[in-house]
């Protein structure tokens, strides 16, 4: 883009707007400068355009969005952190969630942010959290990339003694060897549980998240198993441009280019 524009000032201005949005949308994770962990670039931790809170380490990282690196680190100020009462619930959920993500996502990172009621000092009021999970595998040398992103809002209602849980799961994959195959899918989920102690609530909420994410992952796997028998056959064009019937009996053996060209006599 810089070469095409031929104007560094215009490029820097455009990149300064585009990269932060990209990083937040894709929940990009960056290693903290002190190597104490990773921080997720998300609106839930955004203090300003370049500074993001890491609730687990109670630190604020300054981010270079274009280079996708953390340049500075400072301790979070008291007003940037939740009260001790809320932190007990947040930290308990973070501990349980980290166990789950460590088991389910080899390169996954997670964070729990307080979204409401961060100044609540004790029982008697509502509060809420955002659970963010981000996992990505980049393997361009093998012509494939993929990501899993999920955001769960967890709202505690004191009057009802009830915890409302809503989630959005997004999965993306891109395979580009001898072709261009992409997956971009998302799903919404809802659930609830009763209000319990900080530790018990954390276990219940994490188990609900684990259940819904595992269920969705299984549904994706099942759809792939049925791809050749169902989804692939639902292509709008029943006959290719050659007017030759597609050999459905042999779909599993196809390469995107070589075998299709051979079976359909393309290029002859």
- Mean pLDDT, the chain, as a whole number? 88
- Confidence (pLDDT) at 144: 86
- Confidence (pLDDT) at 143: 86
Q: How large a percentage of the chain has pLDDT more than 90?
A: 63
pLDDT tens for each residue of 11-35: 888 888 999 999 999 999 999 999 8
3-state secondary structure the chain: CHHHHCCHHHHHHHHHHHHHHHHHHCCCEEECCCCCCEEECCHHHEEECCEEEECCCCEEEEEECCCCEEEEEEECCHHHCCCHHHHHHHHHHHHHHHHHHHHHCCCEEEEEEEEECCCCCCCCCCEEEEEEEEEEEEEHHHCEEEEEEEEEEEEEECCCCEEEEEEEEEEEEEECCCCCEEEEEEEEEEEEEECCCHHHHHHHHHHHHHHHHHHHHHHHHHHHHCHHHHHHHHCCCCCCCCCCCCCHHHHHHCCCCHHHHHHCCCCC
222 or 71, higher pLDDT: 71
For residue 156, which phi and psi values (nearest 5 degrees)?
-95, 120
pLDDT tens for each residue of 30-51: 999 998 899 999 999 999 999 9
Residue 250, pLDDT > 60, answer yes
Q: What is the mean pLDDT of residues 173-191?
A: 87
CA distance 159 to 106: 39
- Confidence (pLDDT) at 81: 97
For residue 44, which phi and psi values (nearest 5 degrees)?
-70, -25
pTM (2 d.p.): 0.82
The candidate with the shortest Cα–Cα distance to 123, out of 86, 81, 165, 160, is 86
CA distance 200 to 190: 20
**CATH superfamily to which 82-225 belongs:** F-actin capping protein, beta subunit (3.90.1150.210)
- Confidence band (pLDDT; 50, 70, 90) for 5? confident
- Confidence (pLDDT) at 107: 86
CATH number of this structure's domain 2-78, picked from the four choices 3.30.1140.60, 3.30.830.10, 3.40.190.10, 3.30.470.20: 3.30.1140.60
For the chain, give every domain's residue range: 2-78, 82-225, 232-263
52 or 227, higher pLDDT: 52
* Residues in CB range of 53: below 8 A, 6 or more apart: 45, 46, 47, 59, 60, 76, 80, 113
- Confidence (pLDDT) at 140: 84
């Amino acid at each position: 883009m810089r070469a095409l524009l031929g104007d560094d000032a215009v490029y820097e201005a455009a990149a300064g707007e585009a990269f932060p949005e990209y990083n937040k949308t894709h929940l990009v994770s960056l290693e903290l400068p002190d190597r104490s962990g990773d921080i997720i670039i998300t609106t839930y931790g955004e203090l300003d355009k370049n500074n993001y809170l890491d609730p687990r380490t109670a630190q604020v990282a300054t981010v270079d969005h274009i280079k996708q690196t953390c340049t500075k680190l400072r301790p979070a100020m008291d007003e940037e952190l939740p009260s001790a009462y809320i932190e007990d619930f947040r930290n308990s959920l973070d501990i349980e969630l980290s166990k789950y993500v460590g088991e389910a996502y080899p390169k996954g990172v997670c964070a729990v942010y307080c979204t409401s009621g961060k100044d609540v000092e004790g029982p008697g009021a509502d509060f809420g959290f955002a659970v963010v999970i981000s996992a990505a595998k980049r393997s361009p040398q093998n012509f494939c990339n993929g990501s899993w992103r999920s955001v769960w809002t967890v709202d505690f209602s004191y009057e009802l003694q009830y915890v409302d849980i809503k989630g959005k799961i997004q999965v993306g994959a891109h395979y580009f060897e001898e072709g261009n195959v992409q997956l971009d899918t998302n799903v919404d989920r809802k659930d609830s549980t009763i209000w319990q102690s900080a530790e018990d609530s954390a276990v219940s909420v994490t188990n609900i998240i684990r259940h819904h994410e595992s269920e969705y992952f299984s549904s994706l796997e099942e759809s792939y198993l049925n791809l050749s028998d169902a989804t692939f056959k639902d292509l709008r064009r029943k006959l290719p441009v050659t007017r030759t019937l597609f050999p459905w009996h042999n779909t599993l053996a196809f390469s995107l280019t070589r075998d299709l060209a051979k079976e359909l006599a393309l290029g002859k």
